[in-house]
Chain A
Amino acid sequence: MTNVSEVSEIKVIVFQLMNKEYAIELNVVESIEKSLSITRVPRMPSYVKGVLNLRGVVTPIVDLRERLDMEPKDFDESSCIIIVSHADSEVGLIVDDANDVMDVPTSVIGPQPEVVGSVESEFISGVAKVEQRLLVMLNLEKVLQPIKKVNADEF
């Protein structure tokens, strides 16, 4: 075990998408929810699954697979929703599985290699190698860019 007082490290939550491991910082995570009933919101990008009632707060839900241009997958038993707080509001991210909380020394976080799977690189803030695992750190700022006026076209 690494000694906390010596090395500065961040706590991350590790989740899976397409059998790869991704991570976001723990301090932005509010909670992890299992299936809840989602109300669809019309005329949204396909990765916005809708909104749900999270203890009285209307929370938008984003399918992270689709957001990162991966093959969509239906909500199943292991799927869960990570509620993150971002820019003063909460957003839920649908992921395949959330399994771990880890301490990652900041020293092992490096810039992303030129090519990391199929993920568009702007969504990635770095890559951390912890023991034998490779964690892709997500850039929430980019992933959760607010959805502005979509279209008021034909009307």
Chain B
Amino acid sequence: MDIKQYLDMFIEESKEHLQACNEQLLALENNPDDLAIVNEIFRAAHTLKGMSATMGYEDIADLTHKMENVLDAIRNAKISVTTEILDVVFEAADDLELMVLDIEAGGDGKKDISKLVDMLNRIEVGQPLDLVEGSTAATTEEAPIEVVASADIYYDEFELTVISQSSEQGFNALEITIQLREDCLLKVARVFMTFEVLEKSGEVIKTVPTVEKLENEEFDQNFTIVLLTHEDAEELKAKVMKVSEIENVHITHITDDYVEKYKQTELQKGDVQPEETPQQNVLSVKSEKPKETPKEASKMIKASSSTSNKTIRVNIDRLDILMNLFEELVIDRGRLQSIASELHNPELNESVERMTRVSSDLQNIILNMRMVPVETVFNRFPKMVRQLARDLNKKVNLEIIGAETELDRTVIDEIGDPLVHLIRNALDHGIENPEERMAKGKPEEGTVTLRAYHSGNHVFIELEDDGAGVNRERVIGKAIEKGIVTEEAAVVLSNKQVAELILASGFSTATSITDVSGRGVGLDVVKNTIESLGGHISIDSTEGKGSLFQVQLPLTLSIISVLLVELDQEIYAIPLSSIIETAIIQKSDILNAHNQPVIDFRGTIIPLVDLKEIFEMDNSATENDNFHSIVIVRKGESLAGLVVDSFIGQQEIVLKSLGNYLQSVFAISGATILGNGQVALIVDCNALIK
């Protein structure tokens, strides 16, 4: 079997399981007594182990195995959760992630894990077994050779009834735990053979794990079958042992007494923790016939906690192809619209209109399909914050609000790094040391809130901290020193403008460079990335109270609304998202401020930018016109007027890249194809406004 074809799936699923591990570990840290969480982690680790072993990644399998042992010990209350243990488990999860990433990058997923394995081993055995379950303590009569991991079997009422009824009719209810050999290759085959043997002798009413899981090889070396049979336990054991690659078989009788006792303990405990496993060996054989042995019993295992969504996994490539095809359609739609508007045929107009409506519905659906909750980015932050807070000796609580907010995948892919940077910045420079906070009368633990929400055609992501805020004097001092602002200009800056100075390139307020956020790149990288996504970042900060970083992002990057304008017989597109309004001004309205043409726009002086000049085009034809068409665009708070030849109209266009060859064109963010098949370039307003 060629396992390479499963590699992608393996990597993806491993990441999911690791993510689940991390999330649950964090939850466990806050809630160390919740065994349900341990189970979740255990399950994730277990699946990961199975997958990696199948794929031949021994180190991952080893490490997960050890992790699993520790988790098993925790859930069996053999050891209790402490921060030290969690740290080691976290570290293990980190290493696993590294290994998976290595595999993704084409490596062999190998890593020196001996130290961690050692630590995990020590955790597992180093602690005295002081908290053994009450009922298992009684199982002293077990033969020493039959050392099997306790089969955690939970019976529901129905199964218990079946068991007690059948024993009235003379059937033995046997709990048969089969241990496969470590090196067993065809586990499913062995399970199948065991079933075949057992089903000849009686009726299987229950298996742990479930039949589905057994078939999918989602189990370790052990599985347990509950069998109703007339046959003797020893005989059965001998039969089962004939199946090859079976290490050991352990058989326990389930008697009426046991059932009664079990019911009672269940009642006492409620149904909360089904993992407790009272096991008792009592012999009692009666002989009668069963009325029925319902096979369905095995399916009535406790309802799984996870709700199954009706979803399918679709390769993102296919969605991209769908999107591309749809984009072609949008282009043709534009063409049809322009033809229809020329022909003035009512019937044609009607059907074109209808088609436009249908296709915009279709557009919404396709865009929605590509939407991914920001959760996929956010979910790695809790762990990062935890680690960072430890490194910095600060106490930080990260609150995430609106993780379900959806964004286009293209945006999601890009937004991760800037957010990491902002969070690092908030933790490093924003939140103060616990002592300092206490001194200021703030709670010792700092709070960082990460918030995402939709508003209009945009998604906002906000990062708020209750830290020190921006120190006006220090920022201005630094900005002047670095030549970002002049002293005169600094005086009139609003607090918001001062705060935003820290986004300027070449600015870094940290007095000492730490390895957390002081990497010499500064927040200007964040600003550039966000702006290249067609987004915008702003800062509100109150000294002593904290800061709010607000990132505004477009919902999607692939289809945008633009205003088409003409420049020297070429058509250019200006994104509507950055346009404030359009105007036609007289030549006499243009003023000059130090060689920079400006206009008075509703009381504000805004600079004029002649696009043709910028694009080095022939400007002679329109230079002496008395009227100029201008488009007022904005970038953040600053405005500018772009001078164009004429306006054409508004249109939905499909954003296309200029390809690898033209990697960076000044003030052009991309291209699109118009209804007539011509290419129009998209003006990047962000590059035009300083």
List residues of chain A with CB under 8 Å of any chain B CB: 37, 39-44, 48, 50-53, 56-60, 62, 86-91, 144, 146-152, 155
A88 to B659, CA, bound (A): 9
- B512 sits at the interface (CB 8 A): no
Chain B residues lying within 8 Å of A60, measured Cβ to Cβ, are 658-659, 661-662
Nearest A residue to B683 via CB reads A42
- B680 sits at the interface (CB 8 A): yes
CB pair A58 B661 closer than 8 Å: no
Smallest Cβ distance from B263 to chain A, in angstroms?
A: 67
Smallest Cβ distance from A40 to chain B, in angstroms?
A: 6
CB pair A51 B666 closer than 8 Å: no
With A147-B661, A155-B687 known, 11 other A-B pairs at CB within 8 A are: A42-B617, A51-B662, A51-B671, A58-B671, A60-B659, A87-B661, A89-B659, A91-B661, A146-B662, A148-B664, A150-B664
Q: Which of B644-690 contact A (CB under 8 A)?
A: 656-668, 671-673, 677-681, 687-688, 690
CB pair B687 A39 closer than 8 Å: no
Task: Render B317-332 as a binary contact track against A, CB cut-off 8 A, 1 for contact.
Answer: 0000000100110010
8 Å CB contact of B661 from A43, A53, A146, A151: A146
- B614 sits at the interface (CB 8 A): yes
A155 to B306, CA, bound (A): 56
Smallest Cβ distance from A130 to chain B, in angstroms?
A: 30
8 Å CB contact of B663 from A41, A51, A88, A146: A146
CB pair A41 B660 closer than 8 Å: no
Chain B residues lying within 8 Å of A39, measured Cβ to Cβ, are 570, 671, 678-681
Chain B residues lying within 8 Å of A41, measured Cβ to Cβ, are 658, 662, 665, 668, 681
- B615 sits at the interface (CB 8 A): yes
CB pair A89 B687 closer than 8 Å: no
Chain A residues lying within 8 Å of B680, measured Cβ to Cβ, are 39
Q: Which of B566-618 contact A (CB under 8 A)?
A: 570, 614-617
Chain B residues lying within 8 Å of A44, measured Cβ to Cβ, are 662, 665
Smallest Cβ distance from A27 to chain B, in angstroms?
A: 19
Smallest Cβ distance from A19 to chain B, in angstroms?
A: 27
Chain B residues lying within 8 Å of A148, measured Cβ to Cβ, are 663-664
Query: 8 A-B residue contacts at CB 8 Å?
Result: A41-B658, A42-B681, A52-B679, A56-B328, A58-B656, A58-B672, A91-B661, A150-B665
8 Å CB contact of B660 from A52, A56, A62, A89: A89
Chain B residues lying within 8 Å of A56, measured Cβ to Cβ, are 324, 327-328, 331, 673
CB pair B614 A42 closer than 8 Å: yes
Nearest B residue to A154 via CB reads B614
A87 to B662, CA, bound (A): 12
CB pair A147 B663 closer than 8 Å: yes
CB pair B616 A42 closer than 8 Å: yes
Chain A residues lying within 8 Å of B615, measured Cβ to Cβ, are 42-43
CB pair B570 A58 closer than 8 Å: no
A111 to B263, CA, bound (A): 90
Q: Which of B658, B679, B690: most chain A Cβ within 10 A?
A: B679
Smallest Cβ distance from B330 to chain A, in angstroms?
A: 11
Chain A residues lying within 8 Å of B688, measured Cβ to Cβ, are 155
A48 to B665, CA, bound (A): 11
Chain A residues lying within 8 Å of B327, measured Cβ to Cβ, are 56
8 Å CB contact of A43 from B331, B666, B672: B666
Smallest Cβ distance from A59 to chain B, in angstroms?
A: 7
Q: Which of B331, B658, B659: most chain A Cβ within 10 A?
A: B659
A37 to B656, CA, bound (A): 18
CB pair B678 A53 closer than 8 Å: yes
Nearest B residue to A52 via CB reads B679
Nearest B residue to A37 via CB reads B678
Q: Which of B617, B663, B665: most chain A Cβ within 10 A?
A: B665
Smallest Cβ distance from B566 to chain A, in angstroms?
A: 13
CB pair B687 A152 closer than 8 Å: yes
Chain B residues lying within 8 Å of A144, measured Cβ to Cβ, are 661
Chain A residues lying within 8 Å of B671, measured Cβ to Cβ, are 39, 51, 58
User: 10 nearest interchain CB pairs?
Assistant: A42-B615, A89-B659, A89-B660, A39-B679, A149-B664, A58-B671, A58-B656, A60-B661, A53-B673, A146-B663
Smallest Cβ distance from B633 to chain A, in angstroms?
A: 14
CB pair B673 A58 closer than 8 Å: yes
A62 to B328, CA, bound (A): 25
Chain A residues lying within 8 Å of B328, measured Cβ to Cβ, are 56
Q: A91 with B679: in contact, given A39-B570, A51-B671 (CB under 8 Å)? A: no
A149 to B465, CA, bound (A): 37
CB pair B661 A86 closer than 8 Å: yes
Chain B residues lying within 8 Å of A58, measured Cβ to Cβ, are 656-659, 671-673, 679
Q: Which of B517-564 contact A (CB under 8 A)?
A: none
Chain A residues lying within 8 Å of B661, measured Cβ to Cβ, are 60, 62, 86-87, 89, 91, 144, 146-147
Nearest A residue to B324 via CB reads A56
8 Å CB contact of A42 from B656, B664, B668: B668
Smallest Cβ distance from B251 to chain A, in angstroms?
A: 63
Q: A91 with B659: in contact, given A42-B617, A58-B671, A152-B687 (CB under 8 Å)? A: yes
A20 to B461, CA, bound (A): 59
Smallest Cβ distance from A10 to chain B, in angstroms?
A: 24
Chain B residues lying within 8 Å of A87, measured Cβ to Cβ, are 660-661
8 Å CB contact of A152 from B617, B666, B679: B666
A58 to B331, CA, bound (A): 13
Q: Which of B304-359 contact A (CB under 8 A)?
A: 324, 327-328, 331
Nearest B residue to A40 via CB reads B570
Smallest Cβ distance from A74 to chain B, in angstroms?
A: 17
CB pair B331 A146 closer than 8 Å: no
A86 to B327, CA, bound (A): 24
A35 to B617, CA, bound (A): 23
Chain B residues lying within 8 Å of A90, measured Cβ to Cβ, are 659
A52 to B671, CA, bound (A): 10
Q: Which of A42, A88, A146: most chain B Cβ within 10 A?
A: A42
Nearest A residue to B660 via CB reads A89
Nearest B residue to A150 via CB reads B666
8 Å CB contact of B658 from A43, A51, A150, A155: A51
A155 to B657, CA, bound (A): 23
CB pair B662 A48 closer than 8 Å: yes
CB pair A59 B659 closer than 8 Å: yes
Chain A residues lying within 8 Å of B672, measured Cβ to Cβ, are 58
Smallest Cβ distance from A45 to chain B, in angstroms?
A: 10
Q: Which of A50, A56, A58, A60: most chain B Cβ within 10 A?
A: A58
A62 to B659, CA, bound (A): 13
Smallest Cβ distance from A50 to chain B, in angstroms?
A: 8
Nearest B residue to A36 via CB reads B677
A62 to B658, CA, bound (A): 13
Chain B residues lying within 8 Å of A152, measured Cβ to Cβ, are 666, 687
Nearest B residue to A147 via CB reads B662
Q: Which of B254-279 contact A (CB under 8 A)?
A: none
Chain B residues lying within 8 Å of A62, measured Cβ to Cβ, are 661
A98 to B678, CA, bound (A): 25
Smallest Cβ distance from B378 to chain A, in angstroms?
A: 32
CB pair A43 B660 closer than 8 Å: no
Chain B residues lying within 8 Å of A48, measured Cβ to Cβ, are 662
Q: A53 with B677: in contact, given A40-B570, A42-B614, A42-B668 (CB under 8 Å)? A: yes
